[in-house]
Chains A and B, each alone.
Chain A
């Protein structure tokens, strides 16, 4: 596609439930990133994929968070046993190569609200 697509754009879930957030990167972009942006803050890094593998998952806050990218394209961020503190905007970005000076292209994000 022309840009990075994230679905759903909004998700409301009950505490304790499981959620999946989807990211469809720009075609041909090998690097894919997930960030979390809490209210009034800048985005914080969660995980980075190069191809199918997670090259850096140091930003995942705990083992309730998991992400996959099985075919090196679409990625899914999975959150188990959601907590109210997980409420945030989850941003996905892709780049042609890691560290591209052309910048990372971000999607519009998924706003997750845990009630």
Chain B
């Protein structure tokens, strides 16, 4: 079975600072994909970044980067230069093997302060 663990229910970060949101995963499949989504109070899930299990380089998308450590089964999201608009829930998710569906963690609520 696939499992995503996010151990930080809430995080605070000051504007313009960097923050790391933790995610560990468990799967027995060799081929899998890891996703991060942002969910603002409006409820929509916004895709941020993707890392494939065979990708050798860490994924980056603008201010978002994914710190992928395969041996440790971790896929932490790093947000650089935080902005007030980054305040939201952040979910780590995995698609594993041939299953075309996402398994989500419980999320981390990020609050960016002045």
Contact = CB atoms under 8 A, between A and B. Distances in A.
A99 B100 contact: yes
Contact of B107 (A42, A107, A108): A42
A7 B44 CA distance: 13
B104 A33 contact: no
A91 B45 CA distance: 9
Q: In the complex, which range does the number of interface residues on chain A fall in? A: 20 to 34
Contacts of A104: 35, 47, 102
Nearest to A105: B47
Interface string B32-44: 0101010000111
A52 to B, nearest CB: 16
A108 B43 contact: yes
Given A42-B93, A99-B33, A56 B101 contact: yes
A40 B50 CA distance: 24
A42 B100 contact: no
Given A45-B103, A56-B100, A106 B44 contact: yes
Query: Most B CB atoms within 10 A — which of A40, A42, A105, A109?
Result: A42
Given A42-B93, A107-B44, A109-B43, A101 B50 contact: yes
B45 A45 contact: no
A31 B35 contact: no
Q: In the complex, which range does the number of interface residues on chain B fall in? A: 20 to 34
Contacts of A48: 100-101
Contacts of A45: 101-103
Nearest to B106: A42
A98 interface: yes
Contacts of B25: none
A93 B93 CA distance: 14
Interface string A80-115: 000000000101010000110111111111010000
B59 to A, nearest CB: 9
B47 A89 contact: no
Given A59-B101, A103-B50, A104-B102, 4 more contacts: A33-B101, A35-B102, A44-B104, A107-B44
